[in-house]
Structure 1
Amino acid sequence: MSEEAKDTRRVMEAIEECDSAKFLKAADALHYADLAEIFEGLNDDKREFFSAHIDKEKFADVITDLPDTLVEETMGRLDTDEQREILDQVSDDDRVDILQDVSDDARERLLELVEPDDIEVTKSLLKYGEHTAGGRMTTHFGSIRAEMTIKEALRSLREYSDETESFSRVYVVDAKERLCGYVRFRDLAFNTWETKISSVQREVKRSILASADQEEAAQMVSKYDLFVLPVVDEQNRILGIITHDDVVEILEEESTEDMEKMAGFSGEISEETYLNTPTMTHFKRRFPWLFGLAVLAIASGIVMIKFEHVLESLFILSLFLPMVVAAGGNTGGQASTMVIRAMALGELDEGTLWRVAWKELRLGLMLGSLLGIGMAIITLFIVPMFYHEMPPAIGFTKFAAAVAISLGVQITSSTLVGSLLPIGARAAKIDPAVVAAPAITTIVDVSGMVIYFFVAKAILGL
């Protein structure tokens, strides 16, 4: 058993025994992320014990790592002085995260507890949406002036060294706080004290507007291998920075959101673990899509009714119907997944629609042709082994051609639809992940039936 597992067990034992001294000692050995995970899994009584006895400085870190649905409840367990201490202990961006996670009434009440030195920056950060670069940035960064010497710059940075999030990049600003460049900390460490900052500063090639989406910020950090990303306003004044730990959280949130929407979930994503998320929450998020897709699937039944006479004329057609329909769902799902991934990575823009359509059309034709030929061979040589009632006017050759052509058309059209629907959704300001797997599968199920029966009717003369 690892040391972390042993410490976790000690914390749980202390909580079970309501032993405050043992709990404090065991909790001190654990990282706040592990303590947050423990807290999330406790019942109300045990959370009360946890909140009452843990060191408040450490509890401040724990709260910043809790799911948003637990933040208000947890803050509510504390008295006013403890709430004030928590808000004072956390960094600016974490304080804003806490305030964004609570109700409007609770936010107003907690804002009154923020220290005067912090209230202005807190309110300024609250102006930005929770999922924007400004909403995720921290204002604790190092900044110096170009006219300073390295000795003066180090003296300036030393004053707020404890609060600064990262010194890997120290930004050079002018008198109006506009971003002029940056220096690495090694530049400060390995040059003489008399060296001017202007002589060692470097150009800032990447920055992002505070109003930009957080996903765009994460993509920039990932694509350009940035240590930190400066966040600026429209006048290029630096407001804060986004660090690698922010990017990890953003990417986790965005990938979870895309996965859930592709699986047909509705509503906001839950930050709570699967087992700690209430069953009713799961139900509310799954039911709307399932109901909507079930209603849409009725169209498949309508198609069956319309072409009932075709099936009655040659019932062996029912053998290949599920295959043709499923093939469309599979290829459409593959195409949509690839396009959504490319969109998420910023590889596709509005001008790439026709390039995507042409690429997927060719791919669909290649896949459809090869699979159609393969299915025709199976129809010609395998089906006659167990089916001997094929009408002479039709024959297995003509029947195999109908199956192959319908399969090829279905795969080609489904591939094209699956690739274009996400792009169309983005143009309509809808999350592309929403139109993925479940929706596309239902759509191509209906189109597959129509294609199959029309081709069979035309080629076989039914």
Structure 2
Amino acid sequence: MSEEIKNTRLLLEAVEARDSENFLESANVTHYADLAEIYVGLNGEERDFFTTHIDMESLAEVIPELPDTLVEETMERLDTEEQREILDQISDDDRVDILQDVSDDTRERLLELVEPDDIEITKTLLKYDESTAGGRMTTHFASIFGEMTVQEALESLRKESDETESFARVYVVDSKDKLCGYVRFRDLAFNSRDTIISDFMRPVKRYILASADQEEAVQLVSKYDLFVLPVVDEQHRILGIITHDDVVEILEEESTEDMEKMAGFSGEGSEETYLNTPTMTHFRRRFPWLFGLAILAIASGIVMMKFEGVLNSLFILSLFLPMIVSAGGNTGGQASTMVIRAMALGELDQDSIMRVAWKELRLGLMLGALLGIGMALVTMIFVPMFYHDMPAEVSFIKFGITVAVAMAIQITSSTLVGSLLPLGARAAKIDPAIVAAPAITTIVDVSGMVIYFFVAKAILGL
């Protein structure tokens, strides 16, 4: 049994037995991320025991790791002095995250508990939405002045060493905090102590505005393989940094959000585990999309009624209808997924619409033609083996051609629709992930039926 599993088991046993001594002993050797995971799985009384008996230093590390939905509930379990201590011990960015996760009334009350030395930076960071670079940055970064010597810079950094998030990059600023460049810590170590910083500092080529979307920060860090990414304001003053752990959290949140939207979920995602998320929360997030898609699917029934005569005159058409419809849904879903992924990685912009359309049109024609030919052969060879009532005026060859043409048109149009819908959604200021696979599938289901029946009427003369 690994040490982590053993500690977790002992801690849970201590909580269940309300054994404060063993609880503290186990909590002290358990990582704060594991403590947070354990806390999420506890019931109300067990959480009371947890917050009552754990030391405030450890709890200050645990709370920022909790799902958004549990932050306010957990803070409310503490008295005023404990809340004040928590807000004082955590970093500026974690403090702001907590304040963004609670209700407006609670936020105002907690702001009054923030120490005077921290209140200004806290209010400044609260101005940025939590999904922006400014909302995700940490303000504990290393900075020095260009006119300093290496010796002076090291002495300055030594004073800030306990609170600085990362020394991978030490940023050089002027008297107004404008970003001038950076040095690596190894540069300070290997240059003589009387060397001036400005003599060997490097230019900062990659940075991001605090108001930019957090996904843009992830793209910059990933594309240019950055250790840290400086965050600046419109005057090019450095405000903070995005670190690798921030990027990991953003990626997890964004990928989960996009995956849920593509699956047809609505509303804000819950950070709680699946089993700990209330059933009504799942219901509220799933119902709107399902209801909307159900209404849209009525169009399929209308199409069936409209072409009832075609089906009655040649019922064998119904054998291939599900195949034509599902082929469109599959290809449309594939195209939309590829385009949404490319957009998320910053590979596409609004100027790319025509290039995407031309690329997917060619791809759709190739896929449609090949699949159409394949299904035509299947129709001509295998259908006669079990179906013997084909009207004389409708040969198996004509029927196979009908299936092939309908298949080719359906796949081509579905590929084009699936690729352009996400780009159109972004142009309309809608999250492209909202143009979810279920929506695309429903749309191409209707179009597939229309295409199939019109082609059958035209070729077979029904």
TM-score (norm 2): 1.00
Q: Which runs of 5+ in 1 are unaligned?
A: none
Q: Does 1:272 align with 2:272?
A: yes
Structure 2 counterpart of 1:438: 438
Distance 1:185 1:30 in 2: 32
1:195 alignment partner in structure 2: 195
> For residue 101 of structure 1, what is the aligned residue in structure 2?
101
Tell me the amino acid that sits aligned with residue 344 of structure 1.
A
Q: Distance in 1 between matches of 2:341 and 2:328?
A: 20
Q: Deviations over 1:34-64 (max 9, x none)?
A: 0001000100000000000001101011000
C-alpha separation between the residues in 1 aligned to 2:29 and 2:446?
Answer: 59
The aligned residue for residue 23 of structure 1 is 23
* Residues 297-316 of structure 1 aligned to structure 2 (within 5 Å): 297-316=297-316
Q: In structure 2, how many angstroms separate the alpha carbons of the residues matched to 1:175 and 1:47? A: 48
Q: In 2, Cα distance between the equivalents of 1:200 and 1:161?
A: 22
Q: Distance in 2 between matches of 1:37 and 1:175?
A: 44
How many angstroms apart in 2 are the aligned matches of 1:267 and 1:219? Answer: 25
**Shift in Å at residue 200 of structure 1?**
1.5
**Alpha-carbon deviation of 1:436?**
2.3
Secondary structure at the aligned position of 1:223 is classed as: helix
Following superposition, the deviation at residue 215 of structure 1 comes to 0.8
Q: Which amino acid aligns with 1:441?
A: T
- AA matched with 2:31: H
C-alpha distance in 1 between matches for 2:182 and 2:138: 17
2:413 alignment counterpart:
413
Give the match's secondary structure for 2:171: strand
**Structure 2 CA distance for aligned equivalents of residues 55 and 370 of structure 1:** 67
CA distance in 1, matches of 2:189, 2:105: 48
**Whole-angstrom CA distance in 2 between matches of 1:9 and 1:65:** 20
Secondary structure of 1:168's match?
A: strand
Q: Distance in 1 between matches of 2:377 and 2:302?
A: 31
Aligned to 2:162: 162
SS at match of 2:160: coil
1:32 pairs with 2:9: no
Hey, what's the Cα distance between the residues in 2 that align with 1:425 and 1:253?
21
Q: 2: CA distance between counterparts of 1:190 and 1:77?
A: 51
Deviation at 1:10, TM superposition (A): 0.6
After superposition, the C-alpha distances for 1:212-254 in whole angstroms (9 at most, x for unaligned) are 0011111111111000000000010000001000000001000
Alignment deviations for residues 8-32 of structure 1 (CA, whole Å, 9 cap, x no partner): 0010011011111100110111110
- What are the residue-to-residue correspondences of 1:57-456 with 2, within 5 Å? 57-456=57-456
Distance (Å, rounded) in 1 between the aligned partners of 2:190 and 2:46: 53
Aligned residues: 462
Hey, what's the Cα distance between the residues in 1 that align with 2:216 and 2:95? 23
* Partner of residue 457, structure 2: 457
TM-score (norm 1): 1.00
Q: Per the alignment, in what secondary structure is the counterpart of residue 164 of structure 1? A: coil
Alpha-carbon distance in 1 for matches of 2:226, 2:52: 41
The CA deviation at 1:80 is 0.4
Q: Give a deviation string over 1:405-439, Cα, whole Å, max 9, x none.
A: 00000000000000000000000001101112000
State the alpha-carbon separation in 1 of the partners of residues 434 and 120 from structure 2.
39
- Note the alpha carbon deviations across 1:193-213, whole angstroms, 9 max, x for none: 011101120010000000000
Q: Distance in 2 between matches of 1:436 and 1:327?
A: 17
CA distance in 1, matches of 2:241, 2:265: 33
Distance, in Å, in 2 between the alignment partners of 1:213 and 1:268 is 17
**2-structure distance, mates of 1:384, 1:83:** 78
Counterpart-to-counterpart distance in 1, 2:160 and 2:108: 29
Code of the residue aligned with 2:20 in structure 1: it is S
CA distance in 1, matches of 2:198, 2:226: 22
* Distance in 2 separating the partners of 1:346 and 1:381: 47
Q: Distance in 2 between matches of 1:350 and 1:422?
A: 11
Shift in Å at residue 2 of structure 1? 1.0
* Counterparts of 1:186 and 1:99, CA distance in 2: 37
What runs of 5+ residues in structure 2 fail to find an aligned partner? none
SS in 1 for 2:274: coil
- Structure 2 CA distance for aligned equivalents of residues 47 and 200 of structure 1: 53
